[in-house]
Amino acid sequence: MATALLILGILCLGYYISLTFFGMDFAIIWLLAGIFLVCFGYTLGWTRLWTQILPRGVKVGLYGMFLFGFFIFAFLELLIISGMSGQPQKNLDYIVVLGAQVRGERPSRALRKRIEKAGQYLKDHPSTVAILSGGQGPGEEMTEAVCIQRELLKMGIEKERMILEETSTSTWENLDFCAKLAPVKEKKTGLVTQNFHVYRSLKLAKHQGYEKVYGIPAPSQWSYQPHFMVREAFALVKEKLVGNV
């Protein structure tokens, strides 16, 4: 077991270096996990602390805390997975395209995937109206909503079918501000976002009073999927603590 923990810890540290190189946020969680696993593995297999010094009750308590944390994390991941593979509801009245990072004037890879998913849905359902949501953040030369609109226009989607929401800076604000522009809480509404983000988005929407809301999952980059899944679990805990879900 000690060797397995050491190997897992080293893999976490390597993943942290990779994420940091590409500028991914929240990468520090992999650094902390790597340090913990390496130290725990070393303590478990190559020191007397675990086998001879620590009292049995302390060791049982530490094992219990570890297992409790593991099961909570696994439960959160199952919730996240439950929203990843759903098929989009047909003939929605509205779809809300949740914003993501814009690099200068170009959509990030994540945002491009959302745009492509939204564009295909709008082509397949010509009566559906799109609300494009997202303000302007650091390093962005336009609002996320305008960037989404520009790309959808290139895909042949009519401008008249788009409503822009250009002030939000979070998923909660995306949903709240969109509800002030159109009757999305009462109508059948789809949320276009990355697959790992669907479950939390739906929970936030329902908490705000969306009555008929559905997920439209866009794919995410497979190499970053473990990071996104772990980050999303922590985001769910945060939303619960502040009362958003």
- Distance separating alpha carbons of residues 234 and 245, to the nearest angstrom: 13
* pLDDT at residue 221, rounded to an integer: 87
Three-state SS for 162?
strand
Q: Which residues contact 34 (CB under 8 A, 6 or more apart)?
A: 9, 10, 11, 12, 13, 15, 16
Query: Is 235:200 a contact under the CB 8 Å cutoff?
Result: yes
Band of the pLDDT at 210, cuts 50, 70, 90? very high
User: What is the pLDDT at residue 211?
Assistant: 96
pLDDT in tens, 55-108: 888 878 988 998 999 999 999 999 999 999 878 899 999 999 999 999 999 999
> Is the separation of the CB atoms in 96 and 191 below 8 Å?
yes
Task: Report the pLDDT value the prediction gives residue 54, as an integer from 0 to 100.
Answer: 79
* pLDDT tens sequence across 20-62: 988 888 899 999 999 999 988 888 777 776 677 778 888 789 8
- Residue pLDDT, tens place only, 115-162: 999 999 999 999 999 999 999 988 899 999 999 999 999 999 999 999
- Mean pLDDT, to the nearest integer, of 197-219? 97
Secondary structure class of 192 (helix, strand, coil): strand
Residue of 175, 172, 169 lying closest to 213 (CA atoms): 175
Distinct helix (H) and strand (E) counts, the chain:
9, 7
pTM of the model: 0.89
Tokens describing residue 30: 């992999």
Residues 228-239, mean pLDDT to the nearest whole number = 95
